[in-house]
Amino acid sequence: MRPSGKKEDNIFDLVYEVARQIPKGRVTSYGAIAKAIGSGKSARIVGWAMSNAGTARPKVPAHRVVNSVGLLSGKHAFKTPTQMQELLEKEGITIKNDKVVDFKVKFWDPLEELF
């Protein structure tokens, strides 16, 4: 459930704004989004936001956000255990053992791309 406090809502909105910019076929990390919104040590908050992104409008491509080594650590937040992987594979991203293959090549850094 999404927090109701104003500060958390604002952070979630910032996280979602960055996540919506991730191009199809690319991924980023919780930590990269945290740095992009000026909260470099708040990767867990980004993870919390991603696990609650299903109700956000406009839609948030939460499947494109993985951990710092490319692991699909947020897959538990999707409707099925394989949905995150399926969505990424539809975009041309190869997954092996719950991890993005060629993570460094597929990585999208919001600090470099947006600022």
pLDDT band of 8, cuts 50, 70, 90: low
Domain segments of the chain: what residues? Answer: 6-114
Are 36 and 115 in contact, with CB atoms under 8 Å apart? yes
Q: What is the pLDDT of residue 9?
A: 60
Instruction: Tell me: pLDDT of 25 over 90.
Output: yes
DSSP 107: B
Question: What CATH number has the domain spanning 6-114?
Answer: 1.10.10.10
**Any idea which residue has 């979602």 for tokens?**
16
3-state SS class at 89? helix
